[in-house]
Amino acid sequence: MTNESNLLETDILAYLKCHEEKDLLQFLTCGSVDDGKSTLIGRLLHDSKMIFEDQLAAIEKDSKKSGTQGDEIDLALLVDGLQSEREQGITIDVAYRYFATEKRKFIIADTPGHEQYTRNMATGASNCDLAVILIDARAGVKSQTRRHSYIASLLGIKHIIVAVNKMDLVDYKQSVFDEVKKEYMAFSQQLNFDDIQVLPMSALRGDNVVNNSKELGWFNGPTMMTALEEVKIGEVKSNKEFRLPVQWVNRPSSEFRGFSGTIAGGLVKVGDSITVLPSGKQSTVKSIVTFDGELASAENGQAVTITLNDEIDISRGDMLCHTSHLAQMGKHFEADLVWMSEDALMPNKQYDFKFASKYASGSIVEVIHRVDINSLQQIDATHLELNEIGPCKVRLTQQVAFDNYKDNRQTGAFIVIDRLSNITVAAGMIKRPFNIDEDEESPTNISVFEIEFNQLVRKHFPHWDAQDVSQLFNK
């Protein structure tokens, strides 16, 4: 019996305190279709004894109806809960699962492998510290494996576990594992990962997931569970500079006026000098109020209400920063975009841009280039199609406060929204500001008529490329 089990039976308050003090790892599983993402999560939960008896009984019953493993239990059904997912045997939406061991708490995001659901994968990855990238040992590195790896790199994920799955289908041959590892490591040299672990396993059979396997006796590395428990994530979570995007002005009476939000970086203390952006007004922190009472200080991730010693006009969408370390301000910036709409990005079309708690209108004035997912080469482009990725120049109609994404994932990210349909069409990660002179020299003078012409032709002739459309327009 473990120490936690003893506490659970003898001292519930001590057990809860012990559980509260564990650090939290948020990770996602990604990769190509049918590489075994949902099965891996099911195996992690099953072999670590994190499934209740009634859940297991329900899965056994559902396996007979919707399972893909014959008479055996289909552990993928633990996370593939939608009717259409079970009918097709695929993951469509992002599914989240929570579990804990004696060493750490976990939140898992199971993301889809199909290319058409790349937007769902990007959504699931946005708050994760680590990515588990599954590869079918028989197929090796696929285009979608590369796409998901590149998106994980763009989104600032630094720790990667490459799970070479289905080793049972290649007779657990070390030579197959070595070849897949070599192929992935060669590709990943161009990405911004700090730590990559490559592990052989069979999620279906349970080899090297939670328990060691005699079939993989030639492998001297950790199991998947051990790797998840021991990866160091502290540096990922530390955003040094204080940022508080204001979500709500809290005014319950004439005697109290506070500014509520979730701290997006750094540490704030009572008495700190604060500057409000974009106005530039300054004050000092009078109090830090939470549901549990007032605090002397608060840090990244805490939901707080801050009161100031001066009456300053502050609204939802403003940002509070330490006066000595301000966020950047501007209307123009360069950002990496993941395009998520079936309607292509057209330069100079008006969109809405949503930052942490701030809305602004503007346009994407130039697509600098498109990234080829397989080779990571830069390809000339005037627009982005569904699931394409590339750096772009953005021009807003008003000043906003932001950071570079690599410095702060909360204040350096944004989404692009279509103004007519209100659909999210892209996710963006800010790289750097650029000045207006640089923008005016940009060769992107595209008329409204040309934009509408492009959209009309692409709707009726989706197989045409950009050169075909341009030649037709010029005629």
Residues 316 and 396 in one domain: no
Residue 460 covered by a domain? no
Reported as a single tens digit per residue, the pLDDT across 280-302 is: 999 999 999 998 899 999 999 89
Tokens representing residue 349 in the block: 């079309």
**Higher pLDDT, residue 68 or 332:** 332
Reported as a single tens digit per residue, the pLDDT across 4-34 is: 556 556 666 666 666 666 888 999 888 887 7
Residues 154 and 228 in one domain: yes
Residue 469 covered by a domain? no
Residue 258 covered by a domain? yes
Decide if pLDDT at 57 tops 70.
no
Lowest mean pLDDT segment, chosen from 72-76, 117-121, 158-162, 433-437: 72-76
Decide if pLDDT at 473 tops 80.
no
What pLDDT sits at residue 11? 64
Decide if pLDDT at 76 tops 50.
yes
Asked if the peptide bond before residue 347 counts as cis, ω within 30 degrees of 0, the response is no
Residues 365 and 426 in one domain: yes
Number of folded domains that form the chain: 3
Residue 461 covered by a domain? no
Which pLDDT band holds residue 456 (cuts at 50, 70, 90)?
low
Average pLDDT for 101-124: 74
Residues 249 and 203 in one domain: no
All residues at 6 or more sequence positions from 30 whose CB lies less than 8 Å from its CB, including other chains = 37, 111, 113, 121, 124, 125, 131, 132, 133, 134, 148, 152
What pLDDT sits at residue 322? 95
Decide if pLDDT at 388 tops 50.
yes
Reported as a single tens digit per residue, the pLDDT across 345-360 is: 989 999 999 998 899 9
Decide if pLDDT at 409 tops 80.
yes
Q: For residue 166, give the CATH number of its domain.
A: 3.40.50.300
Q: Contact, 259 vs 250, CB < 8 A?
A: yes
**Regarding beta strands 130-136 and 24-31, do their DSSP bridges make them parallel or antiparallel, or are they unpaired?**
parallel
Last-in-domain residue among 299, 322, 345: 322
Residues 317 and 413 in one domain: no
The domain in which residue 366 lies consists of: 328-448
What pLDDT sits at residue 56? 60
Which pLDDT band holds residue 1 (cuts at 50, 70, 90)?
very low
Average pLDDT for 55-65: 59
Average pLDDT for 103-122: 74
SS3 annotation, the chain: CCHHHHHHHHCHHHHHHHHHCCCEEEEEEEECCCCCHHHHHHHHHHHCCCCCHHHHHHHHHHHHHHCCCCCCCCHHHHCCCCHHHHHHCCCCCCEEEEEECCCCEEEEEECCCCHHHHHHHHHHHCCCCEEEEEEECCCCCCHHHHHHHHHHHHCCCCEEEEEEECHHHHCCCHHHHHHHHHHHHHHHCCCCCCEEEEEECECCCCECCCECCHHHCCCCCCCHHHHHHHCCCHHHHCCCCCEEECCEEEEEECCEEEEEEECCECEEECCCEEEEECCCCEEEEEEEEECCEEECEEECCCEEEEEECCCCCCCCCCEEEECCCCCEEEEEEEEEEEECCCCCCCCCCEEEEECCCCEEEEEEEEECCEECCCCCCEECCCCCCCCCEEEEEEEEEEEEEECCCCCCCCCCEEEEEECCCCCEEEEEEEEEECCHHHHHCCCCCCCHHHHHHHHHHHHHCCCCCHHHHHHHHHC
Reported as a single tens digit per residue, the pLDDT across 131-174 is: 999 999 999 999 888 988 998 998 889 999 999 999 999 999 99
**Higher pLDDT, residue 208 or 99:** 208
Residues 98 and 179 in one domain: yes
Last-in-domain residue among 301, 322, 343: 322
* Angle at the Cα of 191 from the Cα atoms of 142 and 31, rounded to 5 degrees: 30
What pLDDT sits at residue 233? 77
Reported as a single tens digit per residue, the pLDDT across 91-111 is: 445 677 888 888 888 888 877
Residues 42 and 68 in one domain: yes
Residues 42 and 182 in one domain: yes
What pLDDT sits at residue 77? 62
Residue 339 covered by a domain? yes
Residues 257 and 123 in one domain: no
Decide if pLDDT at 65 tops 60.
no
The number of residues making up the chain comes to 475
Which pLDDT band holds residue 460 (cuts at 50, 70, 90)?
low
High-pLDDT (> 70) share of the chain, % = 74
Lowest mean pLDDT segment, chosen from 129-138, 235-244, 394-403: 235-244
Which pLDDT band holds residue 85 (cuts at 50, 70, 90)?
very low
Residues 209 and 262 in one domain: no
Q: For residue 293, give the CATH number of its domain.
A: 2.40.30.10
Mean pLDDT, all residues of the chain: 82
Decide if pLDDT at 86 tops 50.
no
Which pLDDT band holds residue 471 (cuts at 50, 70, 90)?
low
Reported as a single tens digit per residue, the pLDDT across 240-291 is: 799 999 999 999 988 899 999 999 999 999 999 999 999 999 999 999 999 8
Tokens representing residue 313 in the block: 């006009």
Last-in-domain residue among 236, 261, 281: 236
Residue 106 covered by a domain? yes
Residues 181 and 263 in one domain: no
Residue 421 covered by a domain? yes
Reported as a single tens digit per residue, the pLDDT across 32-53 is: 877 787 788 888 887 777 665 5
Q: How far does Cα 462 stand from its chain's mean position?
A: 30
Dihedral-angle region of residue 210 (phi above 0 means left; psi in -120 to 50 means alpha; beta otherwise)? alpha
Residues 117 and 211 in one domain: yes
Decide if pLDDT at 186 tops 60.
yes
Q: Contact, 354 vs 381, CB < 8 A?
A: no
Which pLDDT band holds residue 468 (cuts at 50, 70, 90)?
low
Q: How far does Cα 369 stand from its chain's mean position?
A: 23
Residue 423 covered by a domain? yes
